[in-house]
Amino acid sequence: MVTPGVEIGTRVNVAPDLPARLFAGAGVSFLSEDSFEVSSRFAGISEMDGFVTKMPINDTVGHVTAGIDLQKVHGLQLKLQYQGSFAENFQSHGGQLRFGYRF
């Protein structure tokens, strides 16, 4: 798998002691196969033949991200981020909210 991408961002001061980093990114994953295959068998049943499960997958998937990092001067941090992946007949959406305190 190869996943080239790019991210851009900027830093702005929301308040005198509250810097924020705004960012957005995009990329694309290229997979060498268009299916996932696994061979299996049930443990403890030695006379049973194994079986193969094959699942079609997209060989090209686009990715986007966007978010904001807030970093209070006195150690407080807040990060909000969106992550999306898109392909033919496929969408995935996720988010992240992180709170931290550095001491």
35-93 pLDDT per residue, tens: 888 988 888 777 778 889 998 888 899 999 999 999 887 788 999 999 999 999 899 99
**Residue pair 28/2 in contact by the 8 Å Cβ criterion:** no
Domain ranges of the chain: 5-32+58-101
- DSSP 8-state class, residue 25: E
pLDDT of residue 48: 78
Measured distance CA(87)–CA(83) in Å, rounded: 14
- DSSP 8-state class, residue 32: S
Measured distance CA(8)–CA(71) in Å, rounded: 18
pTM over 0.75: no
Measured distance CA(31)–CA(62) in Å, rounded: 12
